[in-house]
Structure 1
Amino acid sequence: MWEDVRGTFLNHFFKELERKSIIAFKDNESERSQNLSPELTHAIRESRIAVVVFSKNYSSSTWCLNELLQVYECYQSMDLPVIPIFYGLDPSHVRKQTGEFGKNFEKTCRNKTEACVYQWRRALCDVSNFLGYHSPNWANEATMIEQVANDVLFKLNLTPSSDFPEFVGIEDHIAAMNSVDKR
């Protein structure tokens, strides 16, 4: 699948999110199949932000493409903020399904319905047009990971939590606590 990022980049990224006290759902313990597990679908729907890490092997996984489709549907229906990361590939390869990404995508699309392939293409094209991070543009991967985590934290502080809708102005207090926590 996409071991090209799972054992390295993602481990470092999740560690940085944890360091910033950001709770992230990791789907690597979920059982893989053609369809998303109810647990993963629920986690995506309940998320306040989604980070999608595209790699050259991402499109070789039906699971990843279906997960992207769920994220994209939540973006469309619930305005879920989405941050794409293009790890080791150009965003245009995702947008246009070209290069090695495109070759993997074509293999994955074999024996799939036209409607399914259309939905995947649309999600890939639209999400790859979102403002995100292109790893080759960063000389230092650790700096990029830190910046993405800061971006996630910033967007989370702007996104109201559905847990406590009656609390007005709590975001400023949380930000103050986070700044004390960093000292």
Structure 2
Amino acid sequence: MHPSLRFIQGYPEHIVTPVSQLIESDRLVAWFEARYPENHTIKSEKALFDYAIDIKNRYMKKTPPISKVIYDSKIHIINNALGLYSYVAKNHGGKIKSKNEIRIASVFKDAPESLLRMLVVHELAHIKEKNHDKAFYQLCCHMEPDYHQLELDARLFMIYLDLKK
């Protein structure tokens, strides 16, 4: 098994086999670039924050505010994740101050916009739904109807990056 297939470990055979064949025939990079010819232009953390807030305001107006949305270079190495949502509550003089923060793996600075959107949607959904359950995925699909395909494609993007090294 090719080491890059670790990114789609647990996916059904009817998905893994064609991906494996693309890798073995050295066609996955060209296939991915044809599928996603352009990357987004959201490079700064301010632009990323504004991007996330726009999505939040469109679909989740009544949820608590987000204090930070950043690219994080350590994410997938440490957590084997592509993005992280964190909720921090601190007691300041008897008042509880809470912060919602989203971190997106830095490799997605140079990704197709739809894959970045899928990650932001995923992390935003955690504000309302903490667990990866049916309600969580329903919310993700409400914000991004192609969520499940884009989640797979984000994993294929990781394979793509692995093969381009």
TM-score normalised according to structure 1 size: 0.27
Q: Which has the higher strand share?
A: 2
TM-score normalised according to structure 2 size: 0.29
